[in-house]
Structure 1
Amino acid sequence: MRQRIDTAKKTSTPRGKIESNFRARIFQTIKRGSKGSGGHTFDILGYTSEDLRVHIERQFEPWMTWENYRHDTWHIDHIIPLSAFNYETPYDIDFKKAWALSNLRPLAANDNMKKGDRLLSPFQPSLALAVG
């Protein structure tokens, strides 16, 4: 019940919907393996589902597998949390930085939950500039 309320709250904003959609698409692509490419999602991100798979696997702890990738086992962590970035659409520079391979790693679920959306080191997001 609580998870449903949290999900509804997160997806009530345009940014929340974008994040939820990208998480779902990436999760579906990982679970499908080579059967799915993720199409448009990965076109926006600038890398392929295979690039993501290889990047994450290189960082696996010995106990991590795609078969045990679940909410209670391990997560794909954003090293710099999504909340630290300044974006409104998937085409914004900070969105691409937030979802860049260099910002993603596998992390034990309990460690990721403890970390939450806290920054572990200083970070300067891009500034929103109005043109015109």
Structure 2
Amino acid sequence: MDIKSTAEKLNREWKGRFAEIRRGIISRLSPQGRIEREKWLLRQQRKEARRALRGRQPTYSVYAIKGSQARIASHLRTRLYLATRGGYRMKRRQHRKPGLIVRNLGCTTEEFIRYISSLFKPGMSWSDRGEWHLDHIRPIASFDLTDPKQVAEACHYTNIRPLWAKENFSRPKPRRAKADILGKCPRTYK
């Protein structure tokens, strides 16, 4: 063996030894050092196993538990919100692309904004958008959102009004009345 390869071999051994000393493993030769090393290796294996599983573990979203009705309702609310403010991607492109919600509104986005503005209560404006909500007069939960006709009816601009957030939160939750409105069994999820 030449000097260079011997030096590299010793450096690798000592690097490993110093790393073990830093981790609190005193010596590989002593019984206590072996026990500490085995514990450390076991912790490392568990950590790696957790990392490997992290990407593959099943995650259950609220929508998967509640069903497709809640998922569709959430998408409708989000799309309506984005339609009124132009959408973050649409603003970047400097043009507005009419999507499903805009088509179901029954009017253009500009007409919808004028319509909502005409229904403003005293003190409401577009600058204080967070203090008031776009409220569905007939709750979304009362529609069968798997039927395209009912989706269009739920999203129609005449079913939407501006309402102060405080008023909106004080209204009874639509899910409580869902069974009465639809004439079906009460929901099984919470």
Same fold, TM exceeding 0.5?
Answer: yes
Query: Which of 91, 105, 109 is 2:161 aligned to?
Result: 105
Map of 1:55 onto structure 2: 115
Aligned amino acid, residue 151 of structure 2: F
Map of 1:84 onto structure 2: 142
Unaligned runs of 5+ in 1: 1-7, 126-132
TM-fit CA distance, 1:39: 2.9
| Larger CA deviation: 107-116 vs 29-38 | 29-38
Query: CA–CA distance in 2 between the matches of 1:38 and 1:45?
Result: 10
Map of 2:129 onto structure 1: 69
Query: CA–CA distance in 1 between the matches of 2:72 and 2:166?
Result: 25
| CA shift in 2, pair 1:112/1:17, >3 Å | same
Query: What TM-score comes out, normalization by structure 1 length?
Result: 0.67
Q: Does 1:114 align with 2:160?
A: no
Q: Does 1:16 align with 2:70?
A: yes
Query: CA–CA distance in 2 between the matches of 1:87 and 1:48?
Result: 22
Percent identity over paired residues: 27
Which structure would you say has the larger RCO, counting Cα contacts within 8 Å and 6 or more residues apart? Answer: 1
Query: Which of 16, 20, 25 is 2:79 aligned to?
Result: 25
Unaligned runs of 5+ in 2: 1-60, 183-190
Query: CA–CA distance in 2 between the matches of 1:79 and 1:64?
Result: 18
Query: CA–CA distance in 2 between the matches of 1:87 and 1:15?
Result: 6
| CA shift in 2, pair 1:102/1:45, >3 Å | closer
Query: What TM-score comes out, normalization by structure 2 length?
Result: 0.49
Aligned-residue Cα RMSD (Å) equals 2.7
Query: Whose Rg is larger?
Result: 2
TM-fit CA distance, 1:49: 1.3
Query: CA–CA distance in 1 between the matches of 2:144 and 2:162?
Result: 23
